[in-house]
Chain A
Amino acid sequence: MQNDQNIKRRGILKGLVTGAAAVVTAPIIYIAARFLGYVRIGGSGQTSATIAFSELTPESPSKLIQINDEPVIVVREKNNEIRAFTATCTHLGCTVSYKPEQPGFYCKCHQGKYDDNGINIPGTRPKSPLTELTVIDKGTELEIQMTPKAKS
């Protein structure tokens, strides 16, 4: 009789402890998931960057800069026109480089090619173009904005 009561009591106790442990575990899993699921978005919040015109020469006609944690390529074309493009390859995210002789942009990772307007060349891996950005000429300096260039 006494033994039966002990077994019954132990069963209740076991249930209580297991229940309490489950009650504690649920919020732990929720908190851990929320904590680990945090992704920093928005980068540095920077919307533009400035470079000196003299940084682009006929010998070195392109420059990689970073705006809002994204690589941007600024190029000086043969007619001295300055243009800026997002430098993230649309294939798998490598950074593209400028090839004046191509002419256009080249991605070393998977030999992706874009023409000098940033349009992906059919037959190579990228399936979409680079985005051309707004460049404001401020005399000796150039302001590169992260907004797409308005179509003329």
Chain B
Amino acid sequence: MDWKEYLIDSLHLRHTAEAVAAKTVPHHRSSIWYYFGGLALMFFTIQIVTGVMLLFYYEPTAELAHKSIERIMTQVPFGWLIRSVHSWSANALMAMIFIHMFSAFLMKSYRTPRYVMWLTGIILLLLMMGFGFTGYLLPWDQTAYFATKIGTEVPRALPWVGDLISSLMKGAKDVNGATLTRMFALHVGVLPVISILLVVVHVVLILLLGSGIPPGAKVTGSTKYFPDYLMKETMLWLVGFGLLIAIAVLYPWELGKAYDLANPTEPPAGVHPEWYFMFLFQTLKIIPEWVAIIGFGILLLFWTFVPFLDRKARRGEKSPIFTYIGIAAILYLCVMTTWAYVAVGDERTAASKEQLHQAPQGGQNAK
């Protein structure tokens, strides 16, 4: 018996090994989208590794958070790179998750019995957005401070429970050191534990349930997952990793000015959250908060339970209405996100013009 067989038997992994050996990936015109789940998994792993590394030097208090990140970026060898990779990889992860989710939606991969994967996927999406929200405050810079202020104020628009949710998020009357501690605990303790468990469940389910084939798709063949498809995935991961490092090196993630609780300042012009919250940010600008929260709540419920609502797809038939809904959702996200960025750009231009006008009055040289 060779060592691989010995290891499989001693760890009681015979069933798993057989499932992996038997797994095949079907070929059809949409099979390219299968790669995005794997890419998301790679970026998630990078997040865990770089996140743990940053924990060695990060100090989670309002007084020291910003300074410790400054130290990571200026004194710790390769600290600037690790932090830049962590920040860029977070964005890449969100991008992969959105592509993975929408491709699964449009391919109707949520059909029974794969609805469990869809449900775990939705929870993972929310957890990843939670990572983004909680991680945004950790550098304790001015943009992070005000963006978190806005983010923790939004739930207040909800009747009865709004104030409670808002103060639970802040851990205080206003965003301060208590909020930072709370966000830190969620970011490095609660969210990782739940998401690692769910990622494992999500991946095991792929093994058990196989890849979803869109209704009506013509399957032209299949590739064995191990080792052939895994080899292709590894090649793509190497490319993805290379691109990530290139971007992290060429465009190191910036660190804004520290926010000083003792000397409150005005928010910098064009304060905004990360790009994956921009559609929410823009929506909140144009409709009342409570309408937005309730509206998005209903949409999220619809999105979560779509495997049970799309009856045609469950029977293996095409369901164009749900395809249109998916496309409409993508269009909505793209339009609102673009609009939000244009608005932020306008605000910044207006602010810099105002500064130019004010500078000569203050006796300074306007350049």
Cβ of A31 within 8 Å of any chain B Cβ, yes or no, is yes
Q: Which residues of A contact B53 (CB under 8 A)?
A: 32, 35-36
Q: Which residues of A contact B78 (CB under 8 A)?
A: 31, 34-35
In the complex, chain A residues 20-65 whose Cβ is within 8 Å of any chain B Cβ: 20-21, 24, 31-32, 34-38, 40
Nearest chain B residue, comparing its CB with the CB of A13: B231
A14 CB, min distance to chain B CBs, angstroms: 6
B23 CB, min distance to chain A CBs, angstroms: 18
Contact in complex: B77, A17 (CB < 8 Å): no
In the complex, chain A residues 96-124 whose Cβ is within 8 Å of any chain B Cβ: none
B138 CB, min distance to chain A CBs, angstroms: 18
Cβ of B241 within 8 Å of any chain A Cβ, yes or no, is yes
Number of residue pairs A-B, CB distance < 8 angstroms: 37
Interface residues on B, range: 10 to 19
Interface residues on A, range: 10 to 19
Nearest chain B residue, comparing its CB with the CB of A20: B238
With contacts A32-B53, A35-B76, A35-B78 known, is A14 near B238, CB below 8 A? no
Q: Which residues of A contact B75 (CB under 8 A)?
A: 38, 40
B76, B241, B242: most-surrounded residue (chain A CB, <10 A): B76
Contact of A14 among B81, B82, B231 (CB under 8 A): B231
Specify the main secondary structure of chain A where it touches its partner.
helix
Distance, CA A101 to CA B231, complexed state (A):
76
Nearest chain A residue, comparing its CB with the CB of B238: A20
* Chain B proximity mask over A61-83: 1 for CB below 8 Å, otherwise 0: 00000000000000000000000
Contact in complex: B76, A17 (CB < 8 Å): no
Cβ of B227 within 8 Å of any chain A Cβ, yes or no, is yes
Contact in complex: A21, B234 (CB < 8 Å): yes
Cβ of B235 within 8 Å of any chain A Cβ, yes or no, is yes
In the complex, chain B residues 53-87 whose Cβ is within 8 Å of any chain A Cβ: 53, 56-57, 75-79, 81-82
Q: Which residues of A contact B79 (CB under 8 A)?
A: 35, 38
Distance, CA A122 to CA B283, complexed state (A):
77
Contact in complex: B238, A38 (CB < 8 Å): no
Distance, CA A60 to CA B80, complexed state (A):
48
* Chain A proximity mask over B221-242: 1 for CB below 8 Å, otherwise 0: 0000001100100110010011
Other than A17-B238, A36-B53, give 4 A-B pairs with Cβ distance below 8 A: A31-B82, A35-B56, A36-B56, A40-B75
